[in-house]
């Protein structure tokens, strides 16, 4: 009986060594667990105790293959917030607010550039420069207020999404 057992173990070991895609598991003297994908990488002293580890195919999903549970396809439910709004709703709102904010900042930068360009030019005697610079300054102040409001709206959107149980990633670019 013992010869049969030894013979069956030898057959199993020979069959295992012929496999190319096997993973091997062994435990060293200190109780630490190791894995290797090649039998030659297993230290010589542990090769006789190394066991083949097979992946659980039911837990592996590849490319377009759907995840299955007990042979039936599992539908992945899209997350919605408390009010039934999904990722598209939140992304659309965040994108619009970021676009509005960027447009306001661009307008503010344009006025600053015009002021800088005008500084290098010689003064005209007509007095239009004072009126133009005063109107630009007024427009800059208005844009600064609008930028502050737009930034506040974007911050409020984050808080609103948090309260509605929407994923934070939905608000990112």
Number of H helices, E strands in the chain: 3, 5
Instruction: For residue 31, give Cα distances in angstroms to 26, 40, 59, 76.
Output: 9, 21, 27, 40
Tokens of 71: 């042979």
Tens of pLDDT, residues 122-166:
666 555 556 677 888 899 999 999 999 999 999 899 899 888 888
User: Would you say 167 and 87 are in contact if contact means Cβ atoms under 8 Å apart?
Assistant: yes
Q: Whole-structure pTM over 0.75, yes or no?
A: no
Tens of pLDDT, residues 54-101:
776 666 556 555 555 555 666 667 788 888 888 899 999 999 999 999
Distance CA 140, CA 31 (A): 70
């Amino acid at each position: 009986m013992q010869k049969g057992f030894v013979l069956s173990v030898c057959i199993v070991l020979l069959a295992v060594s012929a496999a190319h895609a096997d993973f091997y598991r062994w435990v060293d003297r200190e109780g630490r667990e190791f894995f290797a994908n090649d039998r030659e990488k297993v230290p010589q002293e542990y090769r006789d105790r190394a066991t083949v580890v097979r992946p659980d195919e039911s837990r592996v999903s590849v490319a377009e293959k759907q995840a299955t549970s007990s042979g039936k396809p599992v539908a992945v439910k899209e997350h919605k917030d408390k009010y039934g709004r999904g990722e598209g709703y939140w992304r659309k709102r965040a994108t619009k607010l970021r676009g509005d904010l960027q447009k306001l900042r661009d307008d503010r930068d344009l006025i600053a550039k015009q002021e800088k360009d005008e500084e290098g030019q010689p003064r005209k005697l007509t007095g239009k420069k004072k009126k133009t610079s005063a109107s630009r300054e007024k427009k800059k102040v208005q844009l600064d207020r609008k930028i502050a409001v737009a930034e506040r709206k974007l911050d409020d959107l984050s808080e609103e999404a948090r309260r509605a149980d929407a994923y934070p990633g939905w608000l990112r670019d």
